[in-house]
Structure 1
Amino acid sequence: MEQLWGNQTRVSEFLLAAISPTPQSQAALFVVFLLVYIATLVGNFAIMLTVNADSHLRTPMYFLLGNLSFLDLCYSTVTAPKMLMDFLSERRSISYDACMAQLFFLHFVGAAEMFLLTVMAYDRYVAICKPLHYPSIMNRHLCSSLVVASWMGGLIHSTVQTILTMQLPFCGPNHVDNFFCDVPPVIKLACTDTYVVELLMVSNSGLISTSCFIILLTSYTTILIKMRSPEGRRKALSTCASHLTVVTLFFGPCIFIYARPFSIFSVDKLVSVLYNIITPMLNPLIYTLRNKEVKSAMRRLRTRSITSGGKMIL
């Protein structure tokens, strides 16, 4: 079904690509990605609950970590439920409005996470390089302001991307070469020259992801330079290793997708699965497996839950 768009027609829905071509593999992937999505929800919710419930974790670092877990949970939820439904459907369609909404929230949450990861790098810089001034610099008010600024930055970025996309005429074809609606594969379907729009979008998304990544690398390089002793560098690297891993997993694919002209490569769908589905699941594992304080807090929370449950039974 199509709607009128001036003298042309506007598509009312898009057809999404399948991750796997055969029904048997689609069923197998449904089970795999359902487990991944459940693990993402459970892992990130567990970190949020632990950070809020344990008084030992009421510090700027863990306040930011709790917000990162919330963003990871939202980011995965933008695409995973629709993808899971499409595994069980022969016709993977999405309405025009739903496609634009998915595109908006994907860039909203994704950009907010980029900014938040940059804030977390600044937090580690202050903690390691200015430990005596850390409590006064990274106070609760500043942390809350930086989190709000991250969300606002994501909102502004996403609004620009979505408006530029919605202004394009889509009169067919309507086959999106990915399993969700994103800017590069969607604007390729516009029935007009998109060179200027692509240039603006690459400048927007590519500049944000690349700039944040450079700031992060500069921050960690500065930390290592300031730590003159090998022991100090080892401790600094150990402290920042979890964040560096998360940054690499998130920014690497984003720079690959958005910091180049919008040509569609066959590997794009695999890269999209990595940063949309896999990375939000890995972040809780990375932070809990490498962080003794978080593991100890989770054990204390579990012990309290068991004890409370035992008293209720008695």
Structure 2
Amino acid sequence: MSFQDRTDAMHHRSSSACTAPATRYTRISDETREVAVASAGLAADLLPAGWTAHATPAAGGGVYLLVLTPPEGTAQAQLIAPHAGHGWAIGITDPTGGAGDTDTVLRTPDGDIAYQPTLATTIRAAVDALDSDTTTTPGPDRHARGAVHYLDSGCLIGLTDQHRPHLVHVRAVEHGGHPHAMLPTLRRIFTATGHDSADLGTRLLAHDWDRLDPTTTAGRGVTGRRAIAGVGLTHAATGPDGTAPEPEPADVVPLAHISELDTAWLYLLDPDADTVTVHTGDGHPVSRHPLTH
């Protein structure tokens, strides 16, 4: 699903919108083309040295994008110009990402699209989310290659109940919840734990997490958190003797009520298909990704 499809899906769910997509897309294309083309020159003046900006139609032709490209790295920021009463929307696209993991819409901590009211604020937000000048040290809010960093956020991760599919079993992850950080991390943990989705789900549901990191070794982490080899640091701190309290059971909640847990993202594993589905914090599915590279 493309960036434009994801933004449309979040804000055009009515049946009337579905009956006349050509008319709506034509209108939106006209609105965004005019603004994107007019804004390209101004954007170039507002960007840091070495960055470039150009206007281009999206692959599906429904919108025009203002594309910001940093001097290094493979990722870009794709901006949808204001239309239909919304401000600027920001997408991060990386053509070298894993299968199905090439674009992500920048969202607020509440999971809403992070619309920006002006071009200047949009460019600042895009540069912050896609900064080619950052250090190459990987971290919970950084792409694995270190060339790009993304806004950090918490998330929930878990499984759908096999017998009651309206319920989900979830655990909290405090850091690294943005899809561009979490999806590569899950794939690396999946590989490190033997490509066994059922085992991966069991491991993830055993604890609430400070962060997930497949390079973790067993013992006590530098933050005092319990370190689970190949998975990450648990949320519960260990005592002086290195032991941690027994974790509470995972939360079991209706998917329709997931917003009550106040999370930005939800990741649901499917052990039968070796996939993970990304949901926004209100429970709406955004995209589905294979765990295999």
User: Which of the five TM-score ranges fits, normalised by the shorter chain?
Assistant: under 0.3
Bigger Rg, which one: 1
Going by fraction, where is helix more abundant, 1 or 2?
Answer: 1
TM-score (norm: length of structure 2): 0.26
Structure with the greater relative contact order (CA < 8 A, sep ≥ 6): 1 or 2? 1
